[in-house]
Amino acid sequence: MAAPRLQTSMITAPAGRPSPTASASRSSIPQQQPANNPKNCFSWFLPGDIARGHGEALSIREMVEHAIATFAADRRKVFVTGLSAGGGMASVMLAAYPEVFAGGAIIAGVPYGCATNVQQAFEAMFTEQRHAAQALGDRVRAASRHRGPWPKISVWHGTNDPIVKPFNGEDIIRQWTNVHGLSDSPSYQELIGSHTRRIWNDATGKALIEAFSISGMAHGVPLATTTGGESCGAAGAFFLDVGVSSTHHIARFWRLHESLVEMPRAAEPVSAPIQIPIDGHAFVIAGAAAEGSHSSAEASLDEGEERQTRYPLDPNVVIAAAFKAAGLPVPEIPTAPPGATPRVAPGPIVTAALKAAGLVQS
């Protein structure tokens, strides 16, 4: 967890606008400072930084509150995700502030409360502790006065991870199945290619926990760069093309795909996405139609005419805004031809990430 690019963490929330003419997500992207940690990693193991109301956990909580208040985001739909040390910090936020988050995704991370100093942190990463599920769950219950409902959890880990050993993923599962009062055994499991997905449902059949075991994957975020409609991102250091897109699966698990804009076909065009940086910590991407355009378009539709279409956000705009919000070099994204379906431009994004990591010159 030494490299800066291993501490990625993000919080997202769908728009809270009541209008049916637009829907969007806001994302806050916390970033560590060298003054707090010389490796730029979150301090997911220090008691003063992982306790509710203290340190880094409190700072991130305040960022979330700022974004929610500024953009009138839906408090029922706030989510957190992170990779590596960011995954550890996602565990922290889910335990310390469970009432804030509807769900969390922990990628190559560690369970909450598994270490209290640097030595214990490395032991937790590399040496299996064999803690009982009850003890793991008690750590979450002791982190706040909250007693439910609890966030949905998505766990991702590579079977060949040499940095954060795979047993950590299993401990995260046992921690949260205990908190949710679920069986140790999954409700069902399925194969996605060579990868295994397990699901734990509650008594009503609602999926509360999912866990992906990515066969042969080392330490990083699972990508699918050539898999049809789920093609996303470009392979690189800690971004691993394994044929399954964690981004797509997590979004579906959280049902974020249901936030796509839906408008009558004859309505006024949605304006270009708007980017509003907030103190370098959060941003919003939103589409807005002219006031009253929805109702006027409804009246102009011919009977039997297809009434709905989708206006997806340009992923390059979202990614560029995320980089800017985090204080990182902004990718130089080429302008897409008018009417073209937005697709990720991996080259500029990878270049900007390498600059941020100090691996290439500006």
Return the ∠ at Cα 343 (arms to 341 and 347), rounded to 5°. 150
Q: Which tokens is 254 given?
A: 């959280």
Q: Which tokens is 45 given?
A: 């193991």
- What is the pTM for the complete model shown? 0.68
* pLDDT by 10-residue block (mean), the chain, 362 residues: 41 44 60 78 94 96 93 92 94 98 97 96 93 97 97 98 97 98 97 96 97 97 80 82 92 79 34 36 33 33 36 63 69 75 70 65 56
Q: Give residue 264's pLDDT.
A: 32
Q: Give residue 278's pLDDT.
A: 34
Q: Give residue 107's pLDDT.
A: 97
DSSP per residue, 104-148: EEEES---TTS-SSHHHHHHHHHS-----HHHHHHHHHHT-S--S
Q: Give residue 146's pLDDT.
A: 97
Q: Give residue 268's pLDDT.
A: 36
Phi, psi of 326 (to 5 degrees): -85, 0
Q: Give residue 345's pLDDT.
A: 72
E strand or H helix at 200: strand 195-201
Rounded CA separation 231/247 (Å): 10
140 Cβ contact list (under 8 Å, min separation 6): 94, 95, 98, 112, 113, 175, 176, 179
Rounded CA separation 198/202 (Å): 14
Q: Give residue 358's pLDDT.
A: 60
Q: Give residue 156's pLDDT.
A: 98
Of 43, 84, 91, 213, the catalytic one is 84
Scored b (16 or more CB within 10 A) or e, 56-93 reads bbeebbebbeebbeebebbeebbbbbbbbbbbbbbbbb
Q: Which tokens is 362 given?
A: 């500006």
84 noted as active-site residue: yes
Query: What SS3 class is residue 131?
Result: coil
Q: Give residue 40's pLDDT.
A: 77
Q: Give residue 231's pLDDT.
A: 72
Q: Give residue 110's pLDDT.
A: 97
